[in-house]
Amino acid sequence: MRPKRNSRFGLVFVLLLVPCCALWFFYRSVFQDDTILVVPIVLGLITSYLCAYALTGGKDPYN
């Protein structure tokens, strides 16, 4: 049984969250912690949401 598109979006979002946050924390360390701790987390959430949306076609199963 194939997973629904909505559950695929959630799965891809969660799987992409770790590497996206790691990427933004790496950039934070490159620039000598020039920003507060919340910024890489928020950027990781936004980046993983956009990538998951692009890869799965969105949350709506009727796209």
63 occurs within a structural domain:
no
Q: Is residue 61 part of a domain?
A: no
- The span from the CA of 45 to the CA of 59, in Å, is 15
Instruction: State how many domains the chain has.
Output: 1
In a domain, 35, yes or no: yes
39 inside domain? yes
pLDDT of residue 4: 61
Q: What integer pLDDT is reported at residue 50 of this predicted model? A: 93
N-term to C-term CA, the chain: 20
Does 62 reside within a domain?
no
pLDDT, tens digit (0-9, with 9 covering 90-100), for 17-63: 999 999 999 998 888 878 888 989 999 999 999 999 998 887 665 54
Q: pLDDT at position 9, please?
A: 86
pLDDT at 6: 65
* Domain assignment present for 20: yes
- Total Cβ atoms within 10 A of residue 61: 12
Task: Report residue 11 as tokens.
Answer: 């799965």
The confidence score (pLDDT) of residue 62 equals 56
Return the residue matching tokens 């790496």: 26
- Which residues make Cβ contacts (< 8 Å) with residue 5, sequence separation at least 6? 56, 57, 58, 59, 60, 61, 63
